[in-house]
Chain A
Amino acid sequence: MAKITLSDLKHSYYDTPKGPDDYALKEIDLEWSDGGAYALLGPSGCGKSTLLNIISGLLTPSNGKILFDDKDVTHLPPNQRNIAQVFQFPVIYDTMTLFDNLAFPLRNRGVDETTVNTRVMAIAEMLEVTDMMGKKAAGLSPDNKQKISMGRGLVRDDVNVVMFDEPLTVIDPHLKWKLRSKLKELHQKVRATMIYVTHDQTEALTFADQVVVMQEGEVVQIGTPVELFERPAHTFVGHFIGSPGMNVLPCEVRDGGAFFENTLITLEGEIEQGTGTPQIGVRPEFVTLGDHGLPAVVHKVSDVGRHAVVEAKVGHETVKAIIEGEAPLQGAATHLSFDPNKTRLYRDGWIATRASQ
C-alpha cells in the first residue's frame, strides 16, 4: 500500500512532439493517498489508459516522475512496482485451474505453498468462487473470468495499488452492478489503493471516493462525486456527468452581470475578472418551470419514468429541465427560472464565479 504522487507528468507517443496536440497527457500533477478508491473518468481517447499504463509501468512517460510513497518508480518495470492491474478483457490462464490462476502471481514470487493456500482461499471466499477452485478456467462465464482476474490482483498482500482498466466492459448489464458492489466491498476489506478507469459515470461515481475527470490529456476536475455534480469546475464536467448534462448557454457579460437572451441571470456569486467566451452553466435539476422568469416554449418532453426531461426553447437556445410530477404539453408557453445558488458563469469552459459561501 502506498501513496502515489504524479509530478509534472507528460507523455507523447511521438519521438519529437511538436506542439501540445502531440501529447496524449498534457501535464498531470496528482497525489493519491494510501488506501483510497479513485476513479479516472473521461471519454475514450482522453488519456486515461495512457495514465494508467504509466502508473503500472507498461509505459515510460516522456516527462515527469511517479512516486510510490517517496520512492521514484518512473523507470522501474511493472514486476518491480508491486502493482496489480485488471484489464478490460479478462485475462485468464486457460489451461490452469482457478486455484492455479489465483496462485500464479504468488508462486512467481516464490511464496511458500502454505501461504499461497491461505491467501488464495481467502480471496476465493471474498469473490464467492470457492466451489469452483478445482475447475479449468477455460469454460468460465465472462463475469467469473473477470472475478478471477480481479482476484489475481488482490491475492498479493504487498501490492501498492490495484488498477482497473474499464473492467466491466464485457460484463452483462445485470451482472455489472453485482460486480461493482463486490468491488466496493473488496476495497473496504483489503484497503488497498485502487484506481478505476472508466468512461461510465455511474461506475466512477459509485466506486470512487474521489473522481479525476480527464479531457484531452488534461485533468479538468478532481473531487468527490457530490462536488462534481454540485459544482462542476469546467463545462465539460458539467456536461459529461449527469443525465442529461448541464445546460451550457451563451451569454453576455456587462455591468458586472451575465445576460442570457437579454435577461439578467442571478449567479451564485461575483463574476471574476477575465477574458474568454462567457457561458452560463446550470444543471437541468435546478431549472424550474413556472409563471415567471424567462419566457420559453416547451419543445419536447421525454418521460424517463421517475421524472420528465423537458426541452424548452428560449429564443434559439434549448434549455433542459428536469420536472417531477406532471409535465407540460408540447408547444405550451412557460417561464423558466434558474436556482441562483447553482447557476454559474464559465469562461472558455472554466468556472468564473466565486462560490456562494
Chain B
Amino acid sequence: MKIAVRNPIRWARGPVKSRDSDGESAHQIQEKYQTLVNNLSVGVYRTTPGSKGRFLEANPAMLQMFEARSKDELLKHNVNDMYQNPEDRKIFSQKLEKDGYVKNEELGLVTLAGNNFIASVTAVTKTDQHGDTYFDGIIENISGFKRVESALRQAHALLETRVKDKTIELEDLIKDLSADIAEQKKLEKRSTVYNQELENTKQAMVNVWDDLNNEKVKLQEGKVRDDAMLESIGEGIIFIDTNGRIVLVNKAAEEMIHSKASEIIGKRIDLIVPLVDETDSVIPFKQQPIHDALSGKKKIFGVYYFLPKGKNKISVSLTVTPVLLQNEIIGAIEVFRDITREREIDRAKTEFVSLASHQLRTPLGIAKWYLEAVEKTGYMEKAPEEIRDYIKQVYESNERVLSLVRDLLSVSRIDQGRIKDNPKSTNIVHLVEGVIKELSIMATKKGVQLDLLAKSRSLPTMSIDSLRLHEVIENLITNALEYTPTGGTVKVVIDKDGNEFRVSVRDNGIGISQEDQKKLFTKFFRSERGLTSNADGSGLGLYVVKSYVENWGGKVMVASKEGRGSTFTIKIPLNNVKAKEVG
C-alpha cells in the first residue's frame, strides 16, 4: 500500500554521524533515512518506556494505521491509549525493558477512531547519549491477515466439519453400500443356489421324464410281447373281473366261442358262454368253476361244455385260475382248449378198444371153454401124459392172453375216466376166499403155499363193485405167486381196522428194491428182477389196483426187502365208498 506522506517525520534525535567516508553530510543521510521511513508501508515509531508511554515519533504509515489526522494528534495520546487492554502495555513495556527487544509480538490495539485491530510489533530498547531510554519499533496491521487467517481457520474448520460430515456420510454411504453389496452378494449367492437348485430340479425332471419314457417303451414292448403271446397261443384265454365280467379275450377264444372281443367285453361270462352239462342243461353260476375261483382263491381244472348262443356245444378242457394282487382276488383267468375233436377221437378209441376186446375175447373164450371141455371128457385120462401137458400149456397160454386183454381194457377205461362202479352188497371174506380158491391151482403148480388168515370173520358186508375188488385181490395174489420161488409162502390176511378193512398179501419171494418201489404203480412198469425171474405180467396189474383202490377212497401200500419178500396192503373205508369217476 502506497501511503502519501503529508507530514514526513523528522527524526530530530536519530543516530547522527557527522561525516562518513564518501563525504555525505549527516544531513544528507538524515534526509535519505527520513524518506525511507516516510515511505515504508509498516508503521515506524519511537515511544518513551513505561506503562503509559508517550509517542516521540511516528511515520505516515503509523498515522494511517491509528486513523490519526496528524502526527500531533497521535503524539497527544499516551501509548497505552492505543491498547485494547491497557494492561498489555505494562507487560509489553516490562518485557522490552528487561530483554532489550520484542519480536513479532501480536497485540490487540485500537485506533483513535475506536476501531480494533491486531498488530504485530517488533521493537528494541535504545538509550541515547543523554542516557534517556526509549523504544523504537515497527508495527504492522495484521488484522487483515488475521481475518483471512480466521476466515481460513473458519473455512478450514467448516471444511473439516464438512469433510467430517461428508466422511461420516461417506462412511455411512460406504457402510450402506457395503451392506448393499453384501446383501447383493448374498442375494447373488442365494440366487446362484436357487439357480443351481432350479438346474438340478430341471435335470431331475429331465431324468424322470427319460426314465418314464424308457419305462413307457419297456411297457409298450412288454405289452406288444404279451399281446403277441396271447394272440398266438392256441388256448382260449379270457380274463374275468370279480363281477364275472369279461375284461380280455384272445383270438383263440374269439374263434372258439364265435364272438368278437368288442362285442363281449364288459358282459357277464356266464351269459356269453353258458356252461352246460352233458344233457345241455345250464350249470348254475354258483356251481361253475369261475364262481369257485373268484371266491375260493384256488385253481380249478376240469372238462366242461360251452354252449355259446346260437352255436354248437363244444367240449373244453378248462382251467380257471384266480388272479391275486397282494393276496386279494382281482379276477380270474379262464384258459380252455376245444377238446370236442379229442373227445370224438376218444370215443372212437373206446369203441375200438371195446370192439377189439370183444373180437379178441370171443375166440379166446371159445378156446378156453373147449379146452376145458376136452379135459372133462374123460378121454384125457387115457391120453399120453405129454398130450395132457400140451393141452394144459395151450390153456395157460390162452389164459395169459385173456388176462392181458382184461388189463388193457381196464387201463383204457381208467385212462378215459370211464370207471363206472356198480357197487353191490359184498362179503369181503367170501370174495377173497373165492379168489384164493381160483388161484390155488396156480399156487400148487408153482409149489408155493397159499394161506388165508381172516382175523375178523365178522366183517360186515359192504357196498362195493365186487368184480373190480375181485380183480384187485386177484392181481395182488397173482403177483405174489409169480415173484415167489418154489417152496415159498404167500399169506393173505383180512383184517378190520376201525372204519376200514385191510387185505394184505405177504410173500417171501425175491422182493423189490427201494428204487423200483417208487415206480411200482406206474403203467407198464416191470422190475429188472421181475423180468429176469421170467415171471409173466403186463406191467398193468398194480396200476389197475392203485386206480381202483384210490377210486374207493382207499390206499395201497408196499413194504419190501430184496431177497426177503414183499407185503402189499390195501385199505378201503367200509362206508363212504363212492362210485365216482376216476379222472
A binds B: no
Which residues of chain B have a CB within 8 Å of any CB of chain A?
none
